[in-house]
Amino acid sequence: MKTNIENIDDLRAERARLKNQITISRMKLKQQFSLMKEELQPARQALSFTKSLLINNSKSDSVVGMGLRFGVNALLRNTVLARASWLTRLVVPYVANNFVSKYVAKNDTAIIQKTVEWVKDKTNEENTRIIPKRSLAEKGLLWIKKITKDEEKP
């Protein structure tokens, strides 16, 4: 769109119109950019979550975290992933270890406290019952007694 410029006033008017058009174009561009950022937000969150699982950046490592990571690693490699492909056996324990270490880093004291309470409950003298171990012969005789016992008829 070309306009005929004949004097200085026409030049100033055209210059003002072009500046206005540039300002409007910039505003539209910023609006479109912000809309694109909003549309990409779920993908950015998913990428951030995946990155947090794959990258281990915990500086301090507690004994609880090391123990849990060792247990998770042994459990996954020896039971769940025993027959999986080599790639799966490489990636899944790594991701699980990172997840466990991040969880333990956030909840370290709560995990220790719950563990101590559980041990106290299990070792409480009131709750402990000693169940006598029976020999195989004794179990067999008790089974025969149970089967041959006459049922009471009402």
* Count, residues in the chain: 154
Integer Cα distance of 115 and 71 in angstroms: 15
The DSSP result for 50-65, as a single string, is HHHHH--------HHH
Local confidence band at 126 (pLDDT 50, 70, 90 cut-offs): low
Q: Tell me the pLDDT tens digit for each residue of 20-40.
A: 999 999 999 999 999 999 998
pLDDT over threshold 60, residue 11: yes
Integer Cα distance of 24 and 20 in angstroms: 6
Higher model confidence: residue 145 or residue 151? 145
Opening angle at CA 28, ends 23 and 32, nearest 5:
150
Q: Tell me the pLDDT tens digit for each residue of 54-92.
A: 666 555 566 777 777 788 888 888 888 888 888 888 888
